[in-house]
Structure 1
């Protein structure tokens, strides 16, 4: 593979990697049937749909030779891109099926291991994802895609030293903007918010013509940083610049909708998410916006979410923890139930959203002791967020 091809792929891959920060926290676990002949549901196909035409061609190539790693990787990557873009976890199961011929990690090529890691993190199997990435980097030392993904997974687990190390290695093999974004993400989470924001903003200005997927990732990072710095106008500018790129990205939609809700603009949040009822995470934010607006659709959407949670529970899927905790807080006024789920979620992943959820749930339940892990994380990471700082202050007041 040429360096140009590798960097082109990496730019797309890193956008998905940083989306771990959202989608790994909330994406439902894909169900994989025991029998390949089982038809779970036929996805809607529009005549002339270029996505379906592309998939058909890729599937035909794999069917012609299921052991052709290059063909299998093209199809598996396409499925994963669709899962992250549309919030539909079934595509992850399809991707896993395509890669079954390389089930033994000791025999799998590095590129297959990287894709398997992406699929594992989607299922919240972070340990398994890291094992695959470690093995990939043994086979292909300095592989930028594997480094970017390992940094992202380590961020989900709160391993900031490990993520910073991967970003430093990434700086030796990737573009300046990509490496700066990786380091800025770590620094912006660990007490260097202003410095990280300024450095990334300047780097983006130096590279105005970068690939759209990389620009979207950087703009979304900058938007979150600007908001936490108290510059809502700059944050909105970054979000709208990212949306103007015309790419479908669940993380961007969710982040901007949350921003609108936080700033008292539920009508705009609802309008943004109206076409996205299929995605669990976006449907939850839509229902919350409708709830604030007093719309009758809120109850209908809440019922749909509750049914999805119940279905997941019947399958033994506990990967809706974050969604369900927030659902119980907003729609069922069940502070104790939300707190139990938030604590269980914190045991799995330790991102800022997870900490915020634990703080919110502990406040609602008036149980400051239960928030101790998130309060410790906030102090140790030095994460800067005025809203979370206010919640921490209130919890400390309650504990006195």
Structure 2
């Protein structure tokens, strides 16, 4: 499952929405390894690498390097910023218990570390502990802007049975021209969950995809899929990376779904590439990608038993509304 980050950098890109859909070569299956010497990076450089590593095509290339380096540095000198970065990396692998323990230690050292409060609130929310997540958001009072606190709080409340109210409250609390990228991201998620894809797109259409986190790009793709604009997805996502095998599983899944529904039924390249990626994940019993695997067996290669198997594994890790809906769908399909 791709989890949303709270901060990211944005640059402008352009994509050719009217071109013919791109199809990959048959041997483009999975990301190639890259090498970088992280040992000589200072703390700010590590943070830049961490931020960049959440962009499309980057999330797995640097994960191992970042995790090893931050683990070593945290063991040697557990500063709040190093602890925050290390917890972020662990969160990506759904190692929530370890990540939460580190955020707890960070906040004992520095109770005013805003990003750690936000990260902790997000992890608690993903685990379904909405009361604790809301309390964590409210601990930001007097530490940061009310816009940040409102976004954090209403995000949690929207997962706790108050979606429509939270959407309106958050939208009304911040004028649109002053909304942060993260607020726009949260509002777009809420709008899509309310089955308002046009409104969802309006919230994020000005945000550049090239430097956005994968979670936002996945949301962007889901909006266009909901609108039935499959060509837009097929044209845009491949253009975000130089090497197509670097596309994340969640994005390959959206490409496969778009290709399956596209008016040219002879297109099979993305579906074939996703099938190969799925085979690799299953071989590794890769629970981190359980959400994508469950969707694959529900929406692409319909196998209800496998869909339910992976949906149950996903539910063990994440308990947002979308995870509940995925489990319910898989249970219904397997009847």
Q: TM bucket by the smaller chain?
A: 0.7 to 0.9
In structure 2, distance between residues paired with 1:230 and 1:341? 25
> Match for residue 85 of structure 1?
55
> Match for residue 222 of structure 1?
187
- Do the aligned partners of residues 246 and 301 (structure 1) sit closer, same or farther apart at CA in structure 2, a change above 3 Å counting? closer
> Match for residue 9 of structure 1?
none
- Write out aligned runs for 1:68-107 (5 A): 71-88=41-58, 89-104=60-75, 107=77
Task: Tell me the CA shift for residue 103 of structure 1.
Answer: 4.4
Partner SS state of residue 274, structure 1: helix
> Match for residue 162 of structure 1?
132
Task: Tell me the CA shift for residue 159 of structure 1.
Answer: 0.7
Pair 1:41 & 2:33 matched: yes
1:360 to 326, 329, 334: 329
Answer 1 or 2: higher relative contact order, Cα 8 Å, separation at least 6: 2
- Do the aligned partners of residues 221 and 285 (structure 1) sit closer, same or farther apart at CA in structure 2, a change above 3 Å counting? same
Mark the runs of 5 or more structure 2 residues left unpaired by the alignment.
Answer: 9-31
> Match for residue 175 of structure 2?
205
In structure 2, distance between residues paired with 1:231 and 1:305? 28
Tell me whether 306-315 or 136-145 shows the greater mean CA deviation. 306-315
Task: Tell me the CA shift for residue 318 of structure 1.
Answer: 2.4
In structure 2, distance between residues paired with 1:230 and 1:172? 35
Task: Tell me the CA shift for residue 283 of structure 1.
Answer: 1.1
8 Å contact from structure 1 (residues 77, 95) kept in 2: no
8 Å contact from structure 1 (residues 287, 298) kept in 2: no
- RMSD of aligned residue pairs (Cα, Å): 2.6
> Match for residue 293 of structure 2?
324
8 Å contact from structure 1 (residues 335, 364) kept in 2: yes
- Write out aligned runs for 1:228-239 (5 A): 228-239=193-204
Task: Tell me the CA shift for residue 230 of structure 1.
Answer: 4.7
8 Å contact from structure 2 (residues 56, 210) kept in 1: no
In structure 2, distance between residues paired with 1:318 and 1:82? 24
CA deviation profile, 1:104-157 (whole Å, cap 9, x unmatched): 38x511111111100001111011110110110111113211100000111110
- TM-score, normalised relative to structure 2: 0.81
In structure 2, distance between residues paired with 1:337 and 1:294? 28
- Write out aligned runs for 1:143-182 (5 A): 143-182=113-152
Mark the runs of 5 or more structure 1 residues left unpaired by the alignment.
Answer: 1-11, 17-39, 44-54, 64-70, 367-400
> Match for residue 255 of structure 1?
219
- Do the aligned partners of residues 364 and 294 (structure 1) sit closer, same or farther apart at CA in structure 2, a change above 3 Å counting? farther
> Match for residue 14 of structure 1?
6
In structure 2, distance between residues paired with 1:122 and 1:197? 26
- TM-score, normalised relative to structure 1: 0.69
In structure 2, distance between residues paired with 1:175 and 1:152? 18
Number of aligned pairs?
303
Partner SS state of residue 288, structure 2: coil
CA deviation profile, 1:294-340 (whole Å, cap 9, x unmatched): 54675322222232233334445322211111112223221111111
